[in-house]
Amino acid sequence: MAILHAGIATFLKAPPVAPERAALDEAGATVGVLGLPYDSTTVTRPGASHGPRAIRDASSHYSFGGGYHGDYDVTLSDHLTLVDCGDVDGAPGRAQETYDRAERALDEMYAAACFPVLLGGDHGTTIPGARALSRRLDGPMGFVMFDTHLDTAPEIDGEPLSHCCPAHRVLDLPNVEGRNMAIVGAHGAANPKLEKDVADENGITVLTVRDIDRDGIDAVARRALEVASDGTEAVYLSVDIDVLDGAYAWGTCGPEIGGMTGRELVRALEIVGAGPIAAMDCVEVAPMLDPSGHTARVGARVVIDVLAARACRLRDAAGAEAGRAVTAS
């Protein structure tokens, strides 16, 4: 048995592969993990730049079972070839340059038919992630974001590239309409009226914690997936770890009480992850604000659950195709 904490810190101890098409093709990669250790757009409690490394370290706890996920009864490696593409080299104080570098790496991953998993970093991570996917699609793109905050701010003191603005930057994309955007888990006293007005004016579906309390997490998650996949070619999924109640994930820049429970997020990801997700990110893990390491472990689990849902989707599609072949013969 391999020692869990030995060797290079990669996600689930996946082999390190450069984010270049030729290298990814040679590795036969179908999923690539890419870190964006950058939090220069954070307006409070910095520390998320250390998130990618901490999430990778925490993921080693889940490598013991060889990639088997009991909740889904699936082994990831049976359906996914996972590699770790390392980190984007952030440019201090220069968000646009940093995001351009991230997009170039993502373009290479898409060219190799890789499913990208972005590890943030602050929520500005979603900006290059969504832009890169948007360019790869021939049709409309949907968007699901789990977040305590709406993040629909047009700008912050004149700066449009901020961790308060990712949903608005997605809205700016030429193949995204507000009616195909869903924000799940919003609540609390840190959502400005302006951001609510932006969501309302653009037809963004906001599903709050109170909606979850009233309707149940299954109904809310299905509604989010329905909104994002209605007439779209693919969906981008963003998970801000602060969507969880601060009791579950306090190592983040903007924790709040009254958020989603861990069980609710796990169930929601099972439902949304079963849909046409073409890229994802997990952001705002700030490990220095959580000496226990618990929040980073939650971030690792978020990614693993989405990958398990993807593995099930591929397994079921392969099974259906095999059934059709048998029927045809």
Q: What is the pLDDT of residues 60-116, one digit of tens each?
A: 989 766 789 999 999 999 999 999 999 999 999 899 999 999 999 999 999 999 999
- Token pair in block for residue 11: 């996600």
Residues, the chain, total? 329
- Token pair in block for residue 302: 């978020």
pLDDT of residue 1: 47
Whether 123 shows a pLDDT value over 90: the answer reads: yes
Whether 5 shows a pLDDT value over 80: the answer reads: no
Report pLDDT digits (tens) over 203-220.
Answer: 999 999 999 999 999 999
The fraction of the chain above a pLDDT of 90, given in percent, is 86
- With beta carbons less than 8 A apart as the criterion, state whether 300 and 249 touch: no
pLDDT of residue 219: 98
pTM: 0.96
Whole-number Cα distances in Å, 302 to 39, 91, 97, 131? 20, 27, 28, 22
Q: CA-to-CA distance for 290 and 286, rounded, in angstroms?
A: 7
Block residue for tokens 């109640």: 245
- Token pair in block for residue 317: 């599609």
Q: CA-to-CA distance for 121 and 256, rounded, in angstroms?
A: 19
Edge-to-edge order in the sheet of strand 115-120: 82-87, 31-36, 115-120, 277-283, 234-240, 141-146, 181-186, 205-208
Peptide bond into 121 cis (omega under 30): yes
Q: CA-to-CA distance for 325 and 329, rounded, in angstroms?
A: 6
Mean pLDDT along residues 12-22 = 97
pLDDT: is 2 or 260 the higher one? 260
Q: CA-to-CA distance for 319 and 311, rounded, in angstroms?
A: 12
- With beta carbons less than 8 A apart as the criterion, state whether 125 and 167 touch: no
pLDDT of residue 156: 86
DSSP string, 205-270: EEEEHHHHHHH-HHHHHHHHHHHHHTT-SEEEEEEEGGGB-TTT--SSSS--SS-B-HHHHHHHHH
pLDDT of residue 274: 97
Block residue for tokens 């770890």: 241
CATH code of the region 11-328: 3.40.800.10
Whether 4 shows a pLDDT value over 70: the answer reads: no
- With beta carbons less than 8 A apart as the criterion, state whether 169 and 155 touch: no
- Token pair in block for residue 2: 């391999």
Q: Where exactly are the structural domains of the chain?
A: 11-328
Task: Judge residue 183's burial from the number of C-beta atoms within 10 Å of its C-beta, 0-12 exposed, 13-18 middle, 19 or more buried.
Answer: buried
Helix 126-136 to helix 95-111 angle (10° resolution) is 40
pLDDT of residue 65: 66
Q: CA-to-CA distance for 9 and 5, rounded, in angstroms?
A: 8
- Token pair in block for residue 108: 């290479």
Mean of per-residue pLDDT scores for the chain: 94
Mean pLDDT along residues 37-44 = 91
Q: CA-to-CA distance for 61 and 54, rounded, in angstroms?
A: 12
